[in-house]
């Protein structure tokens, strides 16, 4: 072979090798799978090079002192997180070295014990993160009174790196403000999730307890990262079978998986379980046989799950059995079950979402009417769980008057993370702003500054228990929540439960950085979209204080015309009160007088047209269509303007998102873009259907420049979505 040809072949081989190496590098540099949202806010993507070098210097080794599964979970998560963020495996060390991260409690770590750290006041779940010098080495320590505090501290340190904050010179202490930070899963035992838009239940009762899907651990990691410490596994419309050994074995398996992550399991208990399972002729809470049954059941559960959290109970509401079936009160029922759990340290979470077929008063008033007379009668280990608003998780409601009205009762907050009334999983609606609004509302229970947040975190009335819960939005979809942006609501629930005074914007920003990236060109537009998104939904669904206009049953899409349902207060027409003359629900003294359930300062504000404000106008007042608002427009014109503005807001979100093309990984980008397109269509549907209907009442022309609905009213009324997901009865 001539020299030249040989040289050519060598060069070809070298080029081939280079190509191969290049390809291999590309393959290695890219994640094995496209990003699909599975990793949530725990993506641990590499931070950029200059920052990475700085972080590496402060994260050279991990010195985890302690042998518990929780310390192991914390150390493992730290190693996993750092490997992703810093692009290299950080080894576990055995002794103090420069750049070590030291984890432990005074009990588990001689080093931490020797430092006499100010851990008082941090409780069992708080933590301290400090940059210190130990034996001449620079060390970052994460210490807590108990291992779970260390776990939370690890997630906080990771968050600092994920959001590119400095981790030198640290002196950070934090502890949760609320004791029970919970997610309530409305999961049926056949895996149908009521009001679930993210697939089937995560709990596969069929393959449990033998098969423990690694996803259960990922779920627990995500929850622990935001401080969730309690999970109710099953729907509040509960099936007594969950209390049988068959299910308890499976509940035990989940509890064992969640325990290292600081999470206790709870069950929704059916009040008449002694009849359904125990063949008793009654479930009367004052009957000794019933009391014995519940005590034995509690003892049995604790044999499976020694740290079982307790029962969540929906009683005498929407057809569920309860103490009133036996002429007893909610307090009688709750206290009897609480008694059974007390010796094991369990609690009863008793829901205040009640409205009874026998009670014909304004739905707004009913929870207060039933619970307020029971003030002071509940045991210490009962928490009454109240929805944020008096109606039912609407896009906007004023706070429930029960917050602030029962100082001698543990009152907990129930938010709905899953968006039953805010467009399911396809509408982008960040709920942080809604929860911030609810928590900052002033009850005036002890004068100005008696915020709902202070009722919930216990700082106003100093009760023994505090709780903030969210109805979960998870399912077995790869992205967990049914959409990328609904993950933000899960994330925010944890952050608000940890600190009800946290800012919705700060939470959105942390989430955006961790979920999408730290580039301000990404963070700013995304946070902007999130912050305006809930108001957009209010505008195109239920502006000016309208509420419960959703179609029947599934609550998907508009149904303001519906007025033929069995119960008065299932009908949207009952809630908007619209007629030829005007619109709105009069809850002042001339109407249902629901405002009297608030403190006088609040009642005065909501009761007066001059002070109620546009957001709650039609929630509390019935006004003529021609009533003039501060904007200078009539109510009718303002409704049209707001409905139209809502659609415009969605269009603006679509434009903002389109501007991020190329900056966001393709699969997640495309999913969000596709869902925003659905949202725009549905916002338009809402606007047009509602305007067509309300115009049939007001008989007024549209304000100049506003397009008429695309179809006539009958067209919207004929839409049938009976197969929409998440129904109560699938």
- Which residue in 157, 194, 338, 514 binds ligand GCV (CB under 6 A)? 194
Hey, what are 416's tokens? 């709905």
Helix (H) or strand (E) holding 312: strand 310-313
Q: Which of residues 150-189 bind ligand GCV (CB under 6 A)?
A: 186
CA-to-CA dists, residue 208 to 183, 212, 325, 393, angstroms: 21, 6, 35, 33
Given candidates 161, 236, 439, 639, which one binds ligand GCV under the rule CB under 6 A?
A: 236
Which is closer to ligand GCV, CB of 231 or CB of 691? 231
Does 297 engage in binding with ligand GCV (CB under 6 A)? no
| Residue 514 found at the interface with ligand GCV (CB under 6 A) | no
Say which of 307, 318, 596, 671 is annotated catalytic: 318
Q: Which is nearer to ligand GCV, 174 or 392 (CB)?
A: 392
* Closer Cβ to ligand GCV, 467 or 512, answer by number: 467
Distance of CA 716 to CAs 361, 423, 691, Å?
A: 31, 17, 11
Residue number, 186 or 461, with CB nearest to ligand GCV: 186
362 has catalytic annotation: no
Q: Give, in order, the Cα–Cα distances in Å from 453 to each of 145, 309, 399, 436, 458.
A: 26, 23, 11, 9, 8
Cα–Cα distance, 417 to 117 (Å, whole number): 38
Q: Which of 339, 370, 392, 637 is catalytic?
A: 392
x/- track of binding to ligand GCV for residues 612-651 (CB under 6 A): ----------------------------------------
Binding ligand GCV by CB under 6 A: which of 293, 353, 378, 575? 353
Give me the torsion for CA of 638, 640, 644, 646, rounded to 10°: 60
Kindly give the pairing relationship between strand 180-184 and strand 230-232: parallel
- In degrees rounded to 5, what are phi and psi of residue 423? 90, 20
Residue 623 φ/ψ, nearest 5 degrees: -130, 155
Q: Which two tokens stand for residue 670?
A: 């495309």
714: Cβ contacts below 8 Å, ≥ 6 apart: none
CB of 621 to ligand GCV, least distance (A): 25
CB closer to ligand GCV, 125 vs 420: 420
| Backbone region of residue 396 per phi and psi (left: phi > 0; alpha: psi in -120 to 50; beta: other values) | beta
Q: How many Cβ atoms from other residues are within 10 Å of residue 666's Cβ?
A: 11
Question: Which pair of tokens denotes residue 712?
Answer: 């006539």
- Measured distance CA(705)–CA(680) in Å, rounded: 20
Parallel, antiparallel or unpaired: strands 264-268 and 310-313: parallel
Residue 191 DSSP label: S
Minimum distance between the CB of residue 416 and ligand GCV, rounded to whole angstroms? 8
Q: Supply the minimum distance, in Å, between the C-beta of residue 195 and ligand GCV.
A: 5
Q: Which of 163, 217, 237, 369 binds ligand GCV (CB under 6 A)?
A: 237
Instruction: Find the binding residues for ligand GCV in span 385-444 (CB under 6 A).
Output: 392, 420
Using the minimum distance from each CB to ligand GCV, give the nearer residue, 318 or 614.
318
Rounded to an integer, what is the distance from CA 20 to the centroid of its chain? 47
The residue among 314 and 642 lying less far from ligand GCV, judged by its C-beta, is 314
Identify which of residues 392 and 499 has a Cβ nearer to ligand GCV in the complex: 392
Choosing from 35, 362, 420, 509, the catalytic residue is 420
Buried b (16+ CB within 10 A) or exposed e, 364-384: bbbbbbbbeebeebbbebbbb
Our answer to whether residue 361 is catalytic in this structure is no
- The answer to the question of residue 192 lying near ligand GCV (CB under 6 A) is no
- Residue 451 Cα distances to 202, 415, 477, angstroms: 35, 16, 37
Can you state the angle between helices 504-516 and 520-541, rounded to 10 degrees? 120
User: Which structure tokens are listed for 558?
Assistant: 């508009």
Binding flag, residue 195, ligand GCV (CB under 6 A)? yes
* Smallest gap from residue 471 Cβ to ligand GCV (A): 7
Between 38 and 574, CB nearer to ligand GCV: 574
Tokens of 136: 């001449």
Q: Which of 531, 382, 529 is nearest to 464 (CA)?
A: 382
- Residue 405 · residue 445 · CB < 8 Å: yes
CA distance 197 to 200: 9
Evaluate whether 600 touches 592 at the Cβ level (below 8 Å): no
Specify whether 392 is catalytic: yes
CA nearest to 65, candidates 28, 32, 113? 113
Size of the site for ligand GCV (CB under 6 A): 11
Q: How far is the CB of 392 from ligand GCV (least distance, A)?
A: 5
350 binds ligand GCV (CB under 6 A): no
Candidate residues 98, 256, 614, 728; the one interacting with ligand GCV per rule CB under 6 A: 728
Number of H helices, E strands in the chain: 22, 15
For position 356 contacting ligand GCV by CB under 6 A, the verdict is no
CB of 521 to ligand GCV, least distance (A): 40
386 versus 595: smaller Cβ distance to ligand GCV: 386
- Nearest-CA neighbor of 293 among 302, 303, 282, 304? 282
Assess whether the previous peptide bond of 153 is cis (omega < 30° from 0): no
What is the DSSP code string of 354-396? Answer: ---TT--S-HHHHHHHHHGGGTT-S-TTEEEEEESSSSSS-SS
**Looking at the DSSP assignment, which residues form a beta bridge with residue 138?**
133
Q: Specify the residue, 314 or 687, whose C-beta has the smaller distance to ligand GCV.
A: 314
Beta carbon of residue 553, minimum distance to ligand GCV (angstroms, whole number): 9
239 sits near ligand GCV (criterion: CB under 6 A): no
Among 250, 314, 379, 534, binds ligand GCV (CB under 6 A): 314
**Residue with Cβ nearer ligand GCV (158 or 551):** 551
| Shortest spacing between CB 271 and ligand GCV, in angstroms | 13
Is the distance from CB of 25 to CB of 65 less than 8 angstroms?
A: no
Residues in contact with ligand GCV by CB under 6 A are 186, 194-195, 236-237, 314, 318, 353, 392, 420, 728
Catalytic sites, residue numbers = 318, 392, 420
């Amino acid at each position: 072979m001539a020299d030249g040809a040989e040289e050519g072949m060598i060069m070809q081989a070298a080029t081939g090798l280079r190509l191969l190496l290049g390809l291999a590098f590309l393959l290695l540099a890219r994640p094995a799978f496209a990003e699909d949202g599975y990793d949530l806010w725990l993506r641990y993507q590499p931070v950029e090079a200059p920052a990475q070098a700085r972080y590496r210097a402060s994260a050279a080794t991990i010195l985890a002192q302690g042998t518990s599964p929780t310390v192991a979970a914390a150390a493992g998560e730290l190693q996993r997180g750092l490997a992703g963020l810093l692009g290299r495996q950080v080894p576990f060390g055995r002794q103090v070295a420069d750049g070590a991260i030291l984890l432990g409690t005074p009990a588990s770590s001689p080093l931490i014990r020797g430092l006499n750290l100010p851990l008082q006041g941090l409780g069992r779940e708080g933590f301290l993160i400090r940059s210190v010098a130990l034996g001449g080495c620079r060390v970052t320590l994460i210490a807590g009174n108990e291992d779970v505090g260390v776990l939370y501290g690890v997630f906080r340190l990771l968050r600092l790196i994920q959001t590119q904050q400095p981790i030198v010179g640290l002196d950070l202490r934090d502890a949760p403000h609320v004791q029970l930070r919970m997610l309530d899963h409305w999961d049926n035992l056949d895996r149908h999730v009521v009001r679930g838009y993210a697939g089937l239940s995560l709990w596969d009762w069929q393959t449990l307890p033998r098969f423990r899907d690694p996803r259960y651990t990922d779920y627990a990691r995500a929850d622990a990262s935001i401080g969730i410490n309690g999970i109710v596994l099953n729907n509040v419309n509960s099936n007594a079978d969950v209390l049988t050994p068959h299910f308890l074995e499976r509940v035990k398996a989940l509890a064992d998986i969640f325990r290292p992550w600081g999470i206790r399991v709870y069950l929704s208990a059916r009040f008449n379980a002694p009849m359904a399972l125990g063949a008793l002729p009654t479930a009367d809470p004052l009957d000794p046989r019933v009391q014995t049954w519940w005590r034995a059941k509690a003892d049995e559960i604790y044999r499976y799950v020694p740290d079982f959290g307790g029962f969540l109970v929906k009683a005498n509401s929407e057809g569920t059995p309860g103490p009133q079936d036996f002429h007893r009160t909610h307090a009688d029922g709750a206290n009897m079950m609480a008694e059974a759990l007390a010796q094991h340290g369990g609690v009863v979470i008793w829901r205040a979402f009640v409205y009874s077929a026998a009670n014909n008063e304004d739905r707004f008033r009913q929870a207060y009417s039933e619970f307020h007379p029971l003030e002071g009668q509940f045991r210490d280990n009962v928490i009454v769980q109240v929805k944020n608003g008096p109606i039912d998780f609407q896009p906007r409601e004023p706070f429930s008057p029960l917050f602030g009205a029962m100082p001698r009762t543990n009152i907990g907050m129930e938010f709905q993370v899953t968006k039953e009334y805010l467009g399911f999983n396809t509408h982008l609606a960040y709920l942080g702003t809604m929860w911030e609004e609810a928590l900052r509302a002033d009850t005036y229970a002890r004068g100005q500054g008696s915020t709902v947040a202070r009722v919930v975190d216990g700082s106003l009335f100093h009760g023994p228990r505090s709780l903030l819960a969210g109805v979960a939005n998870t399912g077995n979809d790869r992205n967990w929540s049914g959409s990328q942006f609904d993950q933000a609501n899960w994330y925010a629930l944890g952050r608000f439960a940890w600190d009800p005074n946290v800012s919705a914007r700060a939470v959105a920003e942390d989430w955006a950085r961790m979920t999408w990236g730290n580039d301000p060109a990404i963070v700013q537009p995304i946070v902007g979209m999130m912050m305006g998104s809930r108001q957009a939904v209010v505008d195109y669904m239920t502006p000016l204080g309208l509420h419960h206009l959703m179609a029947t049953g599934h609550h998907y899409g508009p149904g303001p015309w519906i007025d033929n349902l069995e119960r008065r207060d299932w009908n949207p027409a009952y809630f908007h009160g619209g007629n030829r003359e005007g619109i709105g629900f009069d809850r002042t003294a001339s109407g249902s007088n629901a405002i009297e359930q608030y403190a006088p300062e609040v009642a005065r504000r909501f009761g007066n047209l001059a002070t109620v404000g546009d957001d709650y106008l039609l929630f509390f007042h019935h006004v003529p269509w021609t009533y003039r608002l501060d904007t200078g427009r009539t109510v009718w014109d303002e409704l049209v303007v707001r409905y139209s503005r809502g659609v415009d807001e969605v269009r603006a979100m679509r434009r903002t998102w389109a501007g991020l093309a190329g900056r966001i990984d393709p699969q997640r980008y495309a999913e969000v873009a596709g869902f925003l397109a659905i949202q725009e269509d549905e916002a338009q549907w809402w606007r047009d259907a509602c305007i067509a209907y309300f115009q049939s009442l007001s008989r007024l022309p549209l304000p100049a420049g506003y397009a008429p609905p695309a179809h006539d009213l009958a067209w919207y009324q004929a839409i049938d979505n009976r197969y929409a997901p998440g129904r109560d009865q699938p």
